[in-house]
Amino acid sequence: MDFVPATGTITMFTTDWCGYCKRLKKQLDIAGIGYTEVNIERVDGTPELVMSLNNGNQTVPTILYPDGSAATNPSLAQVQAKLA
């Protein structure tokens, strides 16, 4: 499965219980930034993908950008700057 998002959007790896994920989703919605949410507890292979992006840690939210780079628990400003 290819999780690299379209230009101007992000893929956000989350869990149901992640407060930081909920906060960032709300901020992205308000800012009008498109995202695809992928729950790592429900999609096979995604925990390993997140671990590969975070030095072996299953840290969420992990963001995947259109250029293939990733960020762990970024602020809204960091996401906006990366997409600009």
**H or E element that contains 8:** none
40 part of a folded domain: yes
Compute how many other C-beta atoms are within 10 angstroms of the C-beta atom of residue 38.
19
Residues whose CB falls within 8 Å of the CB of residue 69, separated by 6 or more in sequence, listed in order: 82
Q: Is the pTM of this model over 0.85?
A: yes
Is the residue at 69 inside a domain? no
> At CA 30, angle to CA 37 and CA 61, rounded to 5?
35
Residue 77 within any structural domain of the chain = no
- Quick: pLDDT tens for 25-36: 999 999 999 999
In a domain, 11, yes or no: no
Total structural domains in the chain? 1
Distance between CA atoms of 28 and 56, rounded to whole angstroms?
27
Q: What is the mean pLDDT of residues 11-18?
A: 98
Task: Identify the CA nearest to 35 among candidates 44, 80, 49.
Answer: 80
Task: Please give the residue range of the domain that contains residue 54.
Answer: 31-59
Query: Is residue 1 predicted with pLDDT exceeding 70?
Result: no
